[in-house]
């Protein structure tokens, strides 16, 4: 049914501060090394859930590349201090190619992390040809909390450049543990696993 006048309140809109879902930032990547939501007073107790969505992300150089996310708990949001939180996660994925001869559904043990300071894989094997890309979203629960580890989950879908397949990734885990206990998350950074630049659009949403 049409949302009409309730659309902004339900789905969020830039500048609509009393909406339940608020668009906080939009960044467009054009042949850049990374996209960061960093030290912008976003990750506060105002919102209990934060969602980052990426649209048509395309690796500029390496074909079949993987989009990943790192977190910082630095009070100043320093990019130099990413990967300082421990991550525990899980991922499984489905693949189906254009030739219709090798569909798979598998638990991706290569992306397992068990209390490791590392990067969170989001969307694998993204092709870098003109018609290939990856899109998806990541949810982070209550990043300002210093009591609980931050539950993270999401989904990434890619046009796989290796064998012309649709690849669907479902991932989940938690982050926020540090050597001294539980800390708040103050920033997120997105880049390609195998290096190289990227194109695409990223949006950060806050959910009250």
- pLDDT tens digits for range 121-149: 998 889 888 889 999 999 999 998 889 98
DSSP classification of residue 80: G
Instruction: Give the pLDDT confidence of 8-48 residue by residue, as tens digits.
Output: 555 555 545 567 888 999 999 999 999 998 766 678 888 99
pLDDT of 204 strictly over 90:
yes
pLDDT in tens, 151-181: 999 999 999 877 678 999 999 999 987 777 8
7 in any annotated domain:
no
- Residue 9 domain-assigned? no
CB distance 170 to 92 below 8 Å: yes
Distance, in Å, from the CA atom of 155 to the CA atom of 103, rounded to the nearest integer, reads: 19
CA distance 71 to 186: 8
Read off the tokens for 135.
């899109």
Which pair of structure tokens corresponds to residue 104? 């798979």
- 12, part of any domain: no
In a domain? residue 14: no
CB 205 within 8 A of CB 138: no
Looking at the structure of the chain, the number of domains it has is 1
Whether residue 8 is contained in a domain is answered as: no
- Structural domain of residue 162, as residue ranges? 22-207
Residue 87 lies in a domain: yes
**Residue 82 CB-density burial (10 A; 0-12 exposed, 13-18 middle, 19+ buried):** buried
> What pTM did the predictor assign?
0.88
Q: Is residue 2 part of a domain?
A: no
Q: Give the pLDDT confidence of 99-127 residue by residue, as tens digits.
A: 888 888 999 898 888 988 888 899 888 98
Residue 113 is assigned to a structural domain of this protein: yes
Distances in Å between the Cα of 66 and the Cα atoms of 50, 52, 121, 154, 207 are 22, 16, 7, 15, 27
Flag whether pLDDT at 75 surpasses 90. no
């Amino acid at each position: 049914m049409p949302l009409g006048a309730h659309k902004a309140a339900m789905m969020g809109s830039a500048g609509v501060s009393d909406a339940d879902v608020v668009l906080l930032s939009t960044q467009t990547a054009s042949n850049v090394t990374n996209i960061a939501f960093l030290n912008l007073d976003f990750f506060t107790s105002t919102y209990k859930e934060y969602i980052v969505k990426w649209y048509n992300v395309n690796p500029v150089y390496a074909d079949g590349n993987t989009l990943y996310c790192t977190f910082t708990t630095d009070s100043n949001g320093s990019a130099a201090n990413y990967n300082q939180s421990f991550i525990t996660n899980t991922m499984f994925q489905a693949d189906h190619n254009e030739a219709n001869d090798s569909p798979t559904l598998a638990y991706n043990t290569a992306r397992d992390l068990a209390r490791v300071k590392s990067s969170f894989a989001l969307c694998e094997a993204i092709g870098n040809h003109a018609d290939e890309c990856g899109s998806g979203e990541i949810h982070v629960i209550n990043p300002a909390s210093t009591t609980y580890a931050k539950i993270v989950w999401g989904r990434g879908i890619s046009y796989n450049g290796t064998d012309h397949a649709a690849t669907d990734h479902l991932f989940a885990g938690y982050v926020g543990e540090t050597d001294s206990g539980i800390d708040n998350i103050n920033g997120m950074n997105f880049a390609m696993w195998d290096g190289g630049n990227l194109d695409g659009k990223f949006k950060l949403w806050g959910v009250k």
